[in-house]
Each structure stands twice: as structure tokens, then as C-alpha cells.
Amino acid sequence: MRKFKINPVEHTIESEINEKIDNLTKPKGSLGRLEELASKICLIQQTLSPELRSPHNILFAADHGILEEGVSVSPKEVTWQQLSHFSKGGAGINFLCEQHGFKLVLVDAGVDYDIPSGHGILDKKVRKGTRNFLHEAAMTPEELDLCVERGAEVVRNIFAATGCNVISFGEMGSGNTSPSAVWMHLFTGIELEKCIGAGAGLDTPGIRHKYNILSEAIANYSGEDNPEAKIAWFGGYEMAMAMGAMMQAAELGMVILVDGFIMTSVILAATQFYPQILDYAIFGHQGDESGHKRMLDVMGVKAILHLDLRLGEGSGAVCAYPIVESAVRMINRMDSFQSVNVTKYF
């Protein structure tokens, strides 16, 4: 798999950042998470005057062979239908991107449908859906490599064309909570049952069936005992492509806004190669999918919002963006006590 140069953020200027924040016209710590976010963004950008430029949300779409086992209430055709819907502008992620000034980029990573040209959807298709990981590897090592490279390429092109330095990632793929739950289980050690939720709306018997299928799939695993092999065996093309995109974004020093359960499992997978990628990540929301909070806790991170969201598409990350923007405005726009001759009152 392609190698990335992801450096841990340098903390040399951290004391200067803290001093600037602590001397803004407010009681120390009174802006809470805004202060934490501002400090993190300053460290990512290595400046006391950070800026957010040209925000983008990249939405990767693909289908999953495991859907054949009845692990989701969403039929496979919903993937391409929703991707088409996104291109027309009337979906959840569309109004959020429009509201918060994000450019939405749609990518066909492996949809089981011939998407016609002329809809503004990037064709990065690796194959028409993954294989059924109950019986065999979802993707080959070569396909995983291709996904990582194509995801990275999308980010590089956006960076070169727009100077974007803050980016979020979303997904569309019926059944993709199943590979996400398996990745979570394999890379955290949390019991599989605690990693599995309702997805798009499974009832209790449906969740039990999903658990039984995923348990059997894990028991059937015959690949090597390393993260790369496990990611390929149980993953999705849109997930692997998003992983490559996240790693490229970190290499470029961009602020990464992480969405819900599926994208959190993707950055969890990325940490198996580059733990320092979390230095560049801001988690938009804690989703409603079972296991998301547990995964956040294992990584030692906190989400900005908790709105019981479970839409995907990057919606929670984009929804949280105004809070991130407020943190940057705080450190750039607030006066210091010295500049306005106000006595520190704490």
C-alpha cells in the first residue's frame, strides 16, 4: 500500500497559542471547546492566526457484497439512486453544504451500476461492488492499493486547484455499517455485539441476524494477521478510498472533519498505519449508531455535536463546521486585554 509522510504536529508554538487564547477578553477557559478547537487548528497550521479556506466535502459511494446476506434494510439500488439524487442537489448533504459554503464532490468508488456521464460524478470505480466477505475477501490487495491511491488523488487535485485546507468526507453504500462494525471490532478489541447497530433501520431480529452473519464472517477469515489484509478482506471500496483521502489530507496538513460511525471506523483503520493522523482530525458529531461513542472513546477523542444523527454523507461533519469556524474567528477577531486596556477580571 502507498506510503504517506504524515508528521505529528509540532508543539513548539503551543505555549504562544495558549497565551494568546488566555489573554483574549474573556475569563480563562470560558469559551470551552472553542478554545480547544482553536488551539488544535493553530497547531495543524503552525500559526497563531489560522484560516479556513475553500471547505470541501468528498462523498465516496460503493456497493457491498455482504448485502446479499440480508444485513441491511436498504436494497442495493439505493446506492446509485442516492448518488444520482446528490448530483441533482436535493438531498440532506446538499442543503448542508450549501448552507455552510462547502463544495460537494461526488465519487463513484465502486457502485454496482453504470453511472451515465454528465452528472458531475467522478468516475473512480474499482469494481461494481465488493465481494461477499462472508465467503471471501471483499477486495484484493491490488484493489485496496488502487482505492487508496484514487482517494488520495481526489484530495491532491482539490488542494492543487483550490488551496482547500479543511475537508470532510462522507459515504453512500447500502450495508456499509457491517464492514464498519467489523473494522471497529478488529481494531479496538471491543466485543462484536457492542459494535453492531441498526444501520438504516434494522429491528431487533434483524440486528441479531446481522451479528450472526458478521460473527461467521470473522470466524471464516483466512487472511494474514495484519491491518492491511483485514481492511481488504472486510472493507468497502468507498471506505478504503476515504482512508486514502484522509491520509493524503493529513500529509498535506489539512484539517480533517470526521463524520459519523462509518468515517470514524475509516480513520480508526488509518491509525493502524499512522496513529498521528488524529493530530489533524476534528470529530464532527457522535452519531446514533451503536458503538460510535465506544469507538471515539477508544481513540481518546470528543465529538463536537451529539444530535442523534445517522445519515452519513458527511452530514454531521458539515453540520459541525460553524463551530469550527467560530473557534477560528475567536482567536483571530477577539481583542486581547492589552490591546483594549481592559483589566483582566479573573
> Which cell is 45 given?
497550521
Torsion of CA 126, 128, 131, 132, to 10 degrees: 140
Segments in 135-287 forming alpha helices (H): 141-162, 177-188, 204-219, 227-234, 237-251, 261-271
Q: Are strands 255-258 and 121-123 parallel, antiparallel or unpaired?
A: unpaired
Active-site residue flag, 313: yes
SS3 content of the chain, % helix, strand, coil (to 5): 50, 10, 40
Catalytic residue among 69, 238, 251, 313: 313
Q: Name the residue with cell 453504470.
A: 114
Contact indicator for 69, 132 with CB cutoff of 8 Å: yes
For residue 182, CA distances in Å to 39, 123, 295 come to 34, 27, 12
For the annotated catalytic residues, the residue numbers are: 313
